[in-house]
Chain A
Amino acid sequence: MKLKEIMELLDATLLCGEDKLDMEVEGAFASDFMSDILAYVSDQKLLLTGMINPQVIRTAEMVDMHFILFVRGKMPDANMLALAEDSDIAVLSTKKLMYTSCGLLYKNGVR
């Protein structure tokens, strides 16, 4: 799925990274534990998390992820968005829960 399709599917708001809307998202990983992300992400490029602090951006950058989707309506602050832009990572936010978001993505082919 393209990022813009994911945005529509999850009724998400794009907070930065407009240039990535047409990029294909093939794999995703969901966790609130940063070390689990560092340990288990192989080549998934989309991170779903409800954790909200700058370490989320740094963690995603360390494992070369391109997209972060904050679930449960979590909204990053301006500093986090500046960090994400600097790290070339697109950031979205959805009000949907983690479980629902993962289910919808999986059902629509993002594995």
Chain B
Amino acid sequence: MADIVFEYQVDGSDYHRAGEASRSTKSNLKKLGFPSDIIRRVGICMYEGEINMVIHADGGVAKVVIGLDDITIILKDKGPGIPNIDLAMQEGWSTADAQANDLGFGAGMGLPNMKRCSDEMNIDTVVGEGTTVTMKIKTK
């Protein structure tokens, strides 16, 4: 069976619309009959990642690949990159601006949340070029 792929353009200009790709993914996974705990983990990973793309990178592309044994979320942006990944992974560390704080984000919990809810997470980043975050959630 071929993988099922969903792809979304994440609009970086509108903070209020951030999260639409995650909502759509959650709804698609429900329709496909995945268990609620898997859907919830995918939802949290993708939503935090989507918010990050809007806050830090002016949007990007979100791709969800549903394979036989796992679901892979690939979030690719052309933002500023992450100069120090270890620091970015620390709970409470954030470079988010006041607008993100106004929305209830920017507390430095996004990346740690994504790592906690995924089985594998990889961050590929080049300062000045962009970041690709890949997360895998096992379904078997």
The chain A residues found within 8 Å of chain B, CB to CB, are 32-36, 38-39, 49, 51, 53-56, 58-59, 61-64, 87
A-B contact pairs, 22 of them (CB 8 A): A32-B104, A35-B107, A36-B107, A38-B47, A38-B109, A39-B116, A51-B103, A53-B102, A53-B104, A55-B15, A55-B16, A55-B19, A55-B104, A55-B105, A58-B18, A59-B19, A62-B19, A62-B22, A62-B40, A62-B47, A63-B43, A64-B36
- List the count of A-B residue pairs having beta carbons below 8 Å apart: 71
Chain A proximity mask over B5-18: 1 for CB below 8 Å, otherwise 0:
00000000001111
Cβ of B26 within 8 Å of any chain A Cβ, yes or no, is: yes
7 tightest CB-CB pairs across the interface, nearest first?
A: A35-B109, A58-B19, A34-B104, A62-B43, A51-B104, A33-B107, A62-B47
A63 touches B40 (CB 8 A): yes
Query: Are A61 and B26 in contact (CB-based, < 8 A)?
Result: yes
Partner of A35, one of B26, B43, B102, B105: B105
Contacts of A58 in B (CB 8 A): 18-19, 22-23, 47
Bound-state CA distance A22–B26 (Å) is 27
Size bracket of the B interface? 20 to 34
Interface flags, B107-119, vs A, CB<8A=1, else 0: 1111011001000
Cβ of B77 within 8 Å of any chain A Cβ, yes or no, is no
Residues 12-52 of B at the A interface (beta carbon under 8 Å): 15-19, 22-23, 26, 36, 40, 43-44, 47-48, 51
Provide the bound-state CA to CA distance between A66 and B112, in Å: 25
- Which residues of B pack against A, CB within 8 Å? 15-19, 22-23, 26, 36, 40, 43-44, 47-48, 51, 102-105, 107-110, 112-113, 116
Minimum CB–CB distance from A4 to chain B (whole Å) comes to 26
Closest B residue to A51 using CB positions: B104
State the CA gap A49–B104 with chains docked (Å).
10
Known contacts: A51-B104, A55-B19. The answer to whether A33 contacts B109 by CB under 8 A is yes
Bound Cα distance A17, B23 (Å):
19
Interface centre among A32, A59, A62 (most CB of B within 10 A): A62
Are B109 and A36 in touch, CB under 8 angstroms?
Answer: yes
The answer for the CA separation of A63 and B19 in the assembled complex, in Å, is 13
* Assembled-state Cα–Cα distance A1/B109 (Å): 32
